[in-house]
């Protein structure tokens, strides 16, 4: 069993009217079975309301499934007694950087997680320094988070999760509120943690460009896994993606249109670099 | 507008007073306030003023900065003095028509003003030299015994520090909403006070909605980081008494003893 495994996981949001009667049920996640191996970098892609965030909240045991089961590092998240173990093993970075920073200083925020875990004081300081160093934020440790840029705030949030020594970090649309520069910062940090620290990464996003470095990519639609495969495999199916109201990375789109117009360009081009190479080969 | 109030805003400086344990500063402030109301002679007030001056000197906070902090309370001070002068019965000093200024009134008024100035300056010195976080930490530690009578001390301290963290964020948000409403023709500046208060409604509603959304997000983020109340939690910056803290305690109690002696003797 991998670090994250779900089996026929479903989750229903129950809407109630003013009297508390059930007025409707929305199946946000529907029959999802995935298995993520330790050290993998996976990305989950989907448009708004596809259920990707709901799925993410299951990995951190913020939500527990209505049907089916989910295990994180072998622990069933439905076991209420072990919920804190799950949350320590699977850290989560949220969308809005302002709403997840608790500390008045950068270092205090990074120390918040270890404090909650009951780590002794001297080890908290070691963890804080180590995490901030890894995210390149050590020089800001005495700064107020309010004065940082969006990308820097998000890096502080990641450091805060990292200081809890998780096996896996879930990024729930961490770049949705950032400018392009901040987006690059965050994605680079996620990749570095995966490469260097061998931490399993689950990146949830609706930006195609961020998913091309993933080992595996899941596309969600109406709560179901609509497509699964490597980014190359997924992005070569341009028509199917467009059917799911998703675009493809710019370079892929250009390559696809050129191929349709009759140029001999291979499938599955993801980056500008690859497109350049392919075009050179044509000439 | 809110930004202009300097009273009690942390003033960053390296000094003995800044480095003192927040618990010492909290207790010292309480003792100091008691001392102000213990003394009743000129020598007594001189002692309190001297003690305060010494603390200000040690804290390296510029006197100008402290005086600036007193400005917003000037009106209250003046009102106290005037009312005390006019309304205390006693031996008449001046008389203009129905206005009657008594000797006792003058004395009571000036005493009250002196006490208020000493009180405000002294307590603002504490907040000027202690970071808000340190202050909540100190309060949590000091109030800890109340846990046994089921007072959620840790939770109160956590709420205070979160509130402090979100003040600048919500201020910024207010500014954004205000500009957005003004761009659509909202008028916050003209009209009488009732009109202006009414104009605030379209500002407050979105602000409240967003504050609740933020609170919800923050609660989720805190739980995701294993926050489960104060039990079993360790501290990154635990409070520890050092030698200087014991010395400070000794000084403050000696000061109170001095004030009591002066009261009895004079």
Q: pLDDT digit string (tens) for A65-93?
A: 999 999 999 999 999 889 999 999 999 99
> Which residue out of A98, A142, A157 would a mutagenesis test of the B interface target, given it has the greatest number of B Cβ atoms within 10 Å?
A98
CB A104 within 8 A of CB A144: yes
All domains in chain A, ordered by first residue: 38-67+75-221 (3.40.50.300)
- Can you say whether the dihedral through the CA atoms of B71, B72, B77, B79 is positive or negative? positive
Query: Which pLDDT score, from 0 to 100, does residue A189 have?
Result: 93
Q: Both B1 and B100 in a single domain?
A: yes
Query: Which pLDDT score, from 0 to 100, does residue A254 have?
Result: 87
Q: pLDDT digit string (tens) for B60-73?
A: 999 888 888 788 88
Phi/psi zone of residue B224: left (φ > 0), alpha (ψ -120 to 50 degrees), beta? alpha
A126 shares contact with chain B (CB less than 8 Å): no
Q: Both B136 and B123 in a single domain?
A: no
Q: pLDDT digit string (tens) for A208-265?
A: 888 888 999 999 998 999 999 998 888 888 888 888 888 788 888 888 888 888 888 8
- Can you say whether the dihedral through the CA atoms of B138, B143, B145, B147 is positive or negative? negative
Tokens 């710019």, located at residue: A250
Contacting residues of A for B212, CB less than 8 Å apart: none
Tell me whether residues B236 and A99 touch, CB distance under 8 A.
Answer: no
Q: pLDDT digit string (tens) for A167-199?
A: 999 999 999 889 989 999 999 999 999 999 999
Alpha-carbon distance values, A213 to A159, A187, A195, A201, A265 (Å): 21, 9, 11, 11, 21
Query: Which pLDDT score, from 0 to 100, does residue A173 have?
Result: 92
- Can you say whether the dihedral through the CA atoms of B153, B2, B49, B101 is positive or negative? negative
Contacting residues of B for A119, CB less than 8 Å apart: 234
The gap between the terminal CA atoms of chain A, to the nearest Å, is 48
- Can you say whether the dihedral through the CA atoms of B151, A116, A60, B222 is positive or negative? positive
Using the CB atoms, write b or e for B170-207: b if 16+ within 10 Å: eeebbeebbeebeeeebeeeeeeeeeeeebeebbeeeb
DSSP classification of residue A215: S
Contacting residues of B for A124, CB less than 8 Å apart: 234, 236
Tell me whether residues A98 and B169 touch, CB distance under 8 A.
Answer: yes
Residue B221: closest CA among chain A residues belongs to which residue?
Answer: A100
Share of chain A above pLDDT 90, in %: 59
Tell me whether residues A104 and B221 touch, CB distance under 8 A.
Answer: no
Would the pLDDT of B4 be above 60? no
Q: Both B98 and B148 in a single domain?
A: no
Which residue among A98, A125, A164 sits closest to B226, beta carbon to beta carbon? A164
Distance from B233 to chain A by nearest Cα, in Å? 5
Residues 6+ apart with CB under 8 A from A58: A6, A9, A11, A29, A64, A65, A70, A77
CB A115 within 8 A of CB B234: yes
Q: How far apart are alpha carbons A222 and A32 in whole angstroms?
A: 11
Q: Both B126 and B250 in a single domain?
A: yes
Q: Both B231 and B259 in a single domain?
A: no
> Which residue out of B22, B226, B239 would a mutagenesis test of the A interface target, given it has the greatest number of A Cβ atoms within 10 Å?
B226
A119 shares contact with chain B (CB less than 8 Å): yes
Nearest Cα neighbor of B135 from B26, B55, B32 is B26
Nearest Cα neighbor of A217 from A207, A206, A228 is A228
Query: Which pLDDT score, from 0 to 100, does residue B209 have?
Result: 93
Would the pLDDT of A108 be above 80? yes
Q: For residue B24, with 0-12 CB atoms within 10 Å meaning exposed, 13-18 middle and 19 or more buried, which class applies?
A: buried
* Position A15 confidence tier, pLDDT thresholds 50, 70, 90: confident
Would the pLDDT of B134 be above 50? yes
> Which residue out of B236, B237, B238, B240 would a mutagenesis test of the A interface target, given it has the greatest number of A Cβ atoms within 10 Å?
B236
Q: Both B146 and B49 in a single domain?
A: no
Q: Token pair for residue A274?
A: 């690859």
Using the CB atoms, write b or e for A98-135: b if 16+ within 10 Å: bbbbbbbbbbbbbbbbbbbbebeeeebbebbeebbebb
Work out how many domains chain B is built from and give that number.
Answer: 2
User: Taking the mean position of all CA atoms in its chain, how far away is CA A167?
Assistant: 14
Q: Token pair for residue A228?
A: 């699964």
Query: Which pLDDT score, from 0 to 100, does residue B1 have?
Result: 40
Would the pLDDT of A39 be above 80? yes
Share of chain B above pLDDT 70, in %: 97
Residue A109: closest CA among chain B residues belongs to which residue?
Answer: B236
Least reliable range by pLDDT among B2-16, B146-160, B229-243? B2-16
What's the whole-number mean pLDDT along residues A197-205? 93
CB A43 within 8 A of CB A205: yes
Q: What is the CA radius of gyration of chain A?
A: 20
One-character DSSP codes across A225-271:
EEEEE-HHHHHT-HHHHHHTT----HHHHHHHHHHHTT----S---S
Q: How far apart are alpha carbons B155 and A114 in whole angstroms?
A: 18
* Position B2 confidence tier, pLDDT thresholds 50, 70, 90: very low
Phi, psi of B90 (to 5 degrees): 155, -165
Q: Both B15 and B43 in a single domain?
A: yes
Distance from A168 to chain B by nearest Cα, in Å? 13
Q: Both B45 and B139 in a single domain?
A: no
Phi, psi of B95 (to 5 degrees): -150, 120
The gap between the terminal CA atoms of chain B, to the nearest Å, is 46
Contacting residues of B for A161, CB less than 8 Å apart: 225
Q: Both B170 and B115 in a single domain?
A: no
Residue B237: closest CA among chain A residues belongs to which residue?
Answer: A121
Which residue among B161, B226, B233 sits closest to A104, beta carbon to beta carbon? B161
Query: Which pLDDT score, from 0 to 100, does residue A256 have?
Result: 86
Q: Token pair for residue B106?
A: 């003058």
Q: Both B226 and B141 in a single domain?
A: yes
Stretch (H or E) spanning A224:
strand A224-229
Q: Both B54 and B161 in a single domain?
A: no
CB B170 within 8 A of CB B211: yes
A63 shares contact with chain B (CB less than 8 Å): no
pTM for this structure? 0.83
Phi, psi of A70 (to 5 degrees): -140, 135
Q: pLDDT digit string (tens) for A118-130?
A: 999 999 999 999 9
Nearest Cα neighbor of A5 from A80, A65, A62, A66 is A65
Which residue among A84, A100, A111 sits closest to B228, beta carbon to beta carbon? A84
What's the whole-number mean pLDDT along residues B26-33? 95
Tokens 């007025």, located at residue: A23
Would the pLDDT of A164 be above 90? yes
Residue A98: closest CA among chain B residues belongs to which residue?
Answer: B169
Q: What is the mean pLDDT of chain B?
A: 87
Number of cross-chain residue pairs from A and B with Cβ atoms under 8 Å apart? 86
Residue A95: closest CA among chain B residues belongs to which residue?
Answer: B217
Q: Both B159 and B87 in a single domain?
A: no
Range of the domain at B186: 132-235
Tell me whether residues A62 and B162 touch, CB distance under 8 A.
Answer: no
One-character DSSP codes across A88-152:
HHEEEE-S-GGGG---SSHHHHHHHHHHHHT--HHHHHHHHHHHHHHTT-GGGTTS-GGGS-HHH
Contacting residues of A for B235, CB less than 8 Å apart: 115, 121
Would the pLDDT of B31 be above 50? yes
Which residue among B218, B226, B232 sits closest to A88, beta carbon to beta carbon? B226
Query: Which pLDDT score, from 0 to 100, does residue B7 have?
Result: 52
* Position B8 confidence tier, pLDDT thresholds 50, 70, 90: low
> Residue A64: helix, strand or coil by DSSP?
coil
């Amino acid at each position: 069993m991998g670090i994250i495994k779900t089996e026929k996981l479903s989750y229903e949001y129950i809407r109630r009217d003013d009297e508390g009667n059930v007025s409707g049920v929305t199946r946000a996640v529907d029959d999802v079975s995935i298995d993520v191996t330790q050290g993998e970098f996976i990305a989950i892609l989907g448009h708004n309301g596809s259920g990707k965030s709901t799925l993410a909240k299951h990995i951190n045991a913020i939500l527990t499934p209505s049907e089916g089961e989910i295990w994180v590092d072998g622990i069933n998240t439905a076991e209420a007694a072990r919920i804190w173990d799950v949350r320590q093993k699977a850290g989560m970075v949220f969308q809005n950087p302002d709403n997840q920073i608790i500390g008045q200083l950068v270092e205090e925020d990074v120390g918040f997680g270890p404090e909650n875990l009951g780590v002794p004081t001297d080890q908290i300081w070691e963890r804080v320094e180590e995490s901030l160093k890894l995210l390149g934020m050590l020089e800001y440790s005495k700064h107020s988070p309010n004065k940082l840029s969006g990308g820097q705030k998000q890096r502080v949030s990641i450091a805060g999760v990292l200081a809890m020594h998780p096996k896996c970090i879930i990024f729930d649309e961490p770049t949705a509120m950032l400018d392009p520069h901040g987006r690059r910062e965050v994605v680079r940090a996620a990749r570095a943690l995966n490469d260097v620290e061998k931490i399993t990464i689950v990146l949830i996003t609706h930006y195609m460009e961020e998913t091309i470095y993933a080992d595996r990519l899941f596309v969600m639609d109406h709560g179901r896994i609509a497509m699964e495969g490597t980014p190359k495999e997924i992005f070569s199916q341009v028509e199917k993606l467009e059917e799911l109201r998703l675009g493809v990375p710019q370079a892929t789109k250009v390559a696809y249109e050129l191929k349709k117009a009759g140029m001999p360009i291979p499938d599955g081009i993801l980056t500008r670099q690859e497109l350049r190479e392919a075009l050179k080969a044509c000439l | 507008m809110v930004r202009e109030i300097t009273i009690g805003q942390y003033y960053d400086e390296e000094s003995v007073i800044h480095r003192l344990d927040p618990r010492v500063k909290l207790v010292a402030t309480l003792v100091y306030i008691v001392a102000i109301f213990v003394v009743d002679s000129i020598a007594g007030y001189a002692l309190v003023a001297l003690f305060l001056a010494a603390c200000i000197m040690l804290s390296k906070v510029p006197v100008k900065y402290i005086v600036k902090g007193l400005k917003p309370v000037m009106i209250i001070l003046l009102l106290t003095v005037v009312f005390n002068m006019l309304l205390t019965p006693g031996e008449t000093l001046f008389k203009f028509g129905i206005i009657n200024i008594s000797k006792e009134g003058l004395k009571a008024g000036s005493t009250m003003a002196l006490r208020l100035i000493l009180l405000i300056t002294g307590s603002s010195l504490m907040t000027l030299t202690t970071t808000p976080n340190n202050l909540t930490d100190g309060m949590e530690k000091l109030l800890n015994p109340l846990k046994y009578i089921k007072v959620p001390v840790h939770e109160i301290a956590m709420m205070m520090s979160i509130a402090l963290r979100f003040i600048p964020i919500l201020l910024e948000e207010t500014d954004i909403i205000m500009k957005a409403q003004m761009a659509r023709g909202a008028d916050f500046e003209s009209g009488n006070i009732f009109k202006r208060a009414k104009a605030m409604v379209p500002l407050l509603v979105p602000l409240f909605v967003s504050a609740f959304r933020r609170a919800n997000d923050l609660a989720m983020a805190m739980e995701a980081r294993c926050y489960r109340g104060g039990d079993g939690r360790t501290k990154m910056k635990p409070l520890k008494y050092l030698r200087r803290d014991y010395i400070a305690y000794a000084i403050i109690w000696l000061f109170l003893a001095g004030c009591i002696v002066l009261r009895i003797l004079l």
